Structure 1
Amino acid sequence: MKQFFTFIKKEFLHVLRDKKTLLILFGMPVVQILIFGFALTNEVKNSKIVVVDYAKDVASKEIINKIEASRYFEIDHILSGTNELETAFKTGKIKMAVVFPENFNSNLLHQNKAQIQIIADASDPNQATTLINYASSIIADYQSQMNQLSLAPYRIQPQVKMLYNPQLKGAPNFVPGVMALILMLICVMMTAISIVKEKETGTMEILLVSPFKPILVILSKAVPYLILSTINVASILLLSFFVLELPIKGNLVLLFSESILFIITCLTLGIFISVKTDSMQTAMLLSLMGMLLPTLLFSGFMFPVENMPIPLQIFSNIVPAKWYYIIVKRIMIEGLGFAAVWKETLILVGTTLFLLFISLKSFKIRMS
């Protein structure tokens, strides 16, 4: 029995001396509890909206004040006319618009009814439906207050319009997210594992002493996955169009170009992981867990990034999948051109060049 406890003590000492194991044992539960329990929520709040107020009367101003006082909405600005709505939605920041017609208060007082138009960005149907419900509740609350002060029953009828996805299909939301997730996992993990495998088997030393330059050795590992991932993009788009009946509203060449750029970004990330690791197990762990969770949590695919605390919003900016997800939605779903995605494209290009530079600087010509 004494020997048994001695072995237990030895194992404890091994665990306590290994900082990586301690980080996994105690750090991961804390991080997951904080992220899943506090930061990530499907609740929609602080959504940026715009208002078009043709009425400019007492009733419209009171409803606008109620909307502004709600924690669910943040009025970005008040537009002078509906001709500016398209430009506002193209920025990607505006999630909803509320339009008050002329003589809104007069119609409500004299005809006992009035209409309000609510326009939502339905490229994310769940978020759009939630925002419509929030706005309708605020309008219904104002209507209830008016009915309490008058014998005549007043009725305010919201007219709902869904942009980009009037049928509220789920495909416009999950197809861009699935594209980002699949490309991120395949490109990063397969590239990292293929290079680290050469290190473990010892064949990397043979390749490095060959007439080929080291950079060509590394790039030769990435090119097959670039071609295969491009085929993956084509298959996803074909399935989306013919099976899910999701039309590609934007420029197909631009969409493919942006997808190839994202694939190259992921490949350079896989090269970076392979340079920093020496075992396939570590490379797989970093590629799978290190890429899967950030892509799911911080790309905006499953959880609205704008609802997260500021530190996590800042952290989400280093996740390449976030920018690709925005690009695909704007080109494929909203039908926008390069002018709407140039910033995201520039970020992916900068990320690719940075990762490639760091990888080349860290790459060891001699295997120790």
Structure 2
Amino acid sequence: MQQFATFVRKEFYHVLRDRRTLFILFGMPLAQILIFGFALTNEVKNASIAILDYAHDEASSHITARIAASNYFEVEENVRDRHRLEAAFKEGTIRLAIVFPANFHQDLVHQNHAQIQVIADASDPNYATTLTNYVSSIIQDYQTEISENMALPYRITPEIRMLYNPQLKGAPNFVPGVMALVLMLVSVMMTAVSIVREKEMGSMEILLVSPFRPVGVILSKAVPYLILSLINVMSILLMSVFLLQLPVEGSWLLLFAESTLFIITCLALGIFISIKTKSQQVAMLVSLMGMLLPTMMFSGFMFPIENMPVPLQLFSNIVPAKWFYIIAKAIMIKGVGIAEIWKETLILCGITLFFFIISLKSFKVRLE
């Protein structure tokens, strides 16, 4: 019994001295509770919308005010023409638009019937359906209120139009997300164990005494995984086109170039993990758990980022998969060019450069 108590006490000492173990035991459960409790929700809030009002009358102003006052929508801009509306959809600054035709109030008063056009970005079909249902509910409430004392009630009919994905298929949403998830996991995980494996096998000494500079060692580890990941990209795109009937609306060359950039970003991150860790098990754990959950939760693939609290929205900006998911969906579904995605591209370039420089600075030419 005394020996058993001694071993128990020794394990307590070991756990308390190991900060990583303490983090896993206490930090991870707290983080998951906060994330699953506040960030991961199917409720739609603060969706960016635009208003195109050709009427500028009393009825259109009242409906616009009700929409703006709800917690579901944030009116980003009041556009003046359809060209700006289409540009806003392509840029991804809005998720839904409401168009009031000319003489909206007059049609409502004299004909007891008027139409409103609701245009939604259906590249995410579930999100688009939810938004249009919310708008229809607000319009229905306004219609009920003004018709209470009327012998012949007013009737407002929303005209729903789904852009980019009129059939509300799921493939346009999950194919770019699967690309981001697969490339992130494969590139980071496989690269993360490359350098640390050399340390464990004892072959790192041979590399360090070779004429190779640190940058050469790092690049030699990354190139094979770059090629394998590019093959993954091509296989995913071919399956999406021929099996899922999801054509690439934009430039294949641009999509391939952006995918290459994202792969390089993931490789730089994987090399950084490999340099900082001392065993393959730790490298695998960090790359798997550290990349899988952020990619799934903060890329916008499964859960709208707009629904999350502001601190988590800010945190999502450091997740590379978020920016690639925006880029891939914009090219594949919306058919945009580099003019609409240059900001996201620059962010990925910055993240890549950051991790590559940090990896070079952290690479030790002497084994400890």
What TM-score comes out, normalization by structure 1 length? 0.98
**1:303 Cα deviation (Å)?**
1.1
Which secondary structure does the structure 2 equivalent of 1:153 belong to? coil
**CA distance in structure 1 between the partners assigned to 2:304 and 2:76 by the alignment:** 18
Question: Hey, what's the Cα distance between the residues in 2 that align with 1:229 and 1:19?
Answer: 34
SS of the residue 1:29 aligns to: helix
2:85 maps to 85
2:99 maps to 99
- Percent identity (aligned): 69
Question: Is 1:22 paired with 2:22?
Answer: yes
1:266-285 equivalences in 2 (<5 Å) = 266-285=266-285
Return the offset for 1:244: 0.4
C-alpha contact (below 8 Å) 2:91/2:341 kept by paired residues: no
- For structure 1, the residue ranges without an aligned partner over 5 or more in a row are none
Secondary structure of 1:148's counterpart equals coil
Question: 1:138 — aligned with what?
Answer: 138
What's the CA shift string for 1:132-167, capped at 9, x where partnerless? 000000001111112212121221111011111111
Q: Distance in 2 between matches of 1:352 and 1:83?
A: 35
Amino acid in structure 2 at the alignment position of 1:331:
I
**Deviation sequence 1:66-101 (CA, Å, 0-9, x none):** 111110011112122323211221221101111111
Q: Could you tell me how far apart the structure 2 residues matched to 1:80 and 1:266 are?
A: 41
> C-alpha displacement at 1:104, in angstroms?
1.2
Cα shift at 1:7: 2.2
Amino acid at match of 1:323: W
SS of 2:268's equivalent in the other structure is helix
Give the AA of the match of 1:142. Y
Q: Residue in 1 aligned with 2:32?
A: 32
Counterpart of 2:10 in structure 1: which amino acid? K
Quote the Cα distance in structure 2 between the aligned partners of 1:213 and 1:3. Answer: 52
TM-score, normalization: structure 2? 0.98
Q: Which residue of 1 aligns with 2:225?
A: 225
Query: In the alignment, which residue of structure 2 is the partner of 1:48?
Result: 48
CA distance in 1 between partners of 2:331 and 2:43 (Å): 26
Q: Offset of 1:10 from its aligned partner?
A: 2.1
Q: Distance in 2 between matches of 1:37 and 1:350?
A: 32
3-state secondary structure, aligned to 1:286: helix
Matches of 2:217 and 2:49 in 1, distance apart? 51
User: Which amino acid in 1 is paired with 2:333?
Assistant: I
> Where does 1:342-361 land on structure 2 (aligned, <5 Å)?
342-361=342-361
Deviation string 1:100-152 (CA, Å, 9 cap, x unpaired) is 11111111122121111000011111110000000000001111112212121
Q: Residue 33 of structure 2 aligns to which amino acid in structure 1?
A: I
Asked if structure 1 preserves the Cα contact closer than 8 Å seen for 2:250 and 2:337, the reply is: yes
> For residue 171 of structure 1, what is the aligned residue in structure 2?
171
Structure 2 CA distance for aligned equivalents of residues 34 and 256 of structure 1? 37
Change (3 A) 1:218 1:84: closer
d(CA) in 2 for partners of 1:183, 1:81: 39
Residues 315-355 of structure 1 show CA distances to partners (whole Å, capped at 9, x for unaligned) of: 11111111111110111110000001111111111111111
1:60 maps to what in 2? 60
Look up the match of 1:264: 264
Aligned to 2:187: 187
Q: Measure, in 2, the Cα distance between the counterparts of 1:81 and 1:149.
A: 36
**Cα distance in 1 for residues equivalent to 2:149 and 2:300:** 44
CA apart distance, 1:367: 0.9
> What is the alpha-carbon distance in structure 1 between the residues aligned to residue 5 and residue 23 of structure 2?
25
Secondary structure of 1:94's counterpart equals: coil
Query: Whole-Å Cα distance in 1 between the matches of residues 186 and 209 of structure 2?
Result: 29
Q: Secondary structure of 2:148's match?
A: helix
Q: Report matched runs for 1:336-347 at 5 Å.
A: 336-347=336-347
Distance in structure 1 (CA, Å) of the matches to 2:55 and 2:205: 76
Q: Which moved more, 1:44-53 or 1:230-239?
A: 44-53
Name the counterpart of 2:234: 234
In the aligned structure 1, how far is the partner of 2:94 from the partner of 2:313?
17
TM-superposition CA deviations, 1:152-196 (whole Å, max 9, x none): 122111101111111111111111110001000001110111221
Per mean C-alpha deviation after superposition, the further-off stretch among 215-224 and 264-273 is 215-224
Partners of 2:201 and 2:123 in 1: how far apart? 48
Q: Distance in 2 between matches of 1:350 and 1:17?
A: 36
Counterpart Cα distance in 2 of 1:5 and 1:208: 46
Q: How many residues align?
A: 368
Q: How many angstroms does 1:311 deviate by?
A: 1.2
Alignment-derived partner of residue 288 in structure 2? 288
Q: Which runs of 5+ in 2 are unaligned?
A: none
CA distance in 2: counterparts of 1:210 and 1:16, whole angstroms: 41
Matches of 1:350 and 1:53, distance apart in 2: 40
Q: Is the 8 A contact 2:187 2:226 kept in 1?
A: yes
Give how far 1:60 is off: 1.0
Cα distance in 2 between the residues matched to 1:164 and 1:281: 44
Counterparts of 1:84 and 1:10, CA distance in 2:
68
Aligned to 2:206: 206
**Aligned partners of 1:313, 1:153: CA distance in 2, in Å?**
44
Render the CA deviation track for 1:251-297: whole Å, top value 9, x for unaligned: 10010001011111111111111111110011001100011111111
Aligned AA (1:218) = I
2:247 equivalent in structure 1: 247
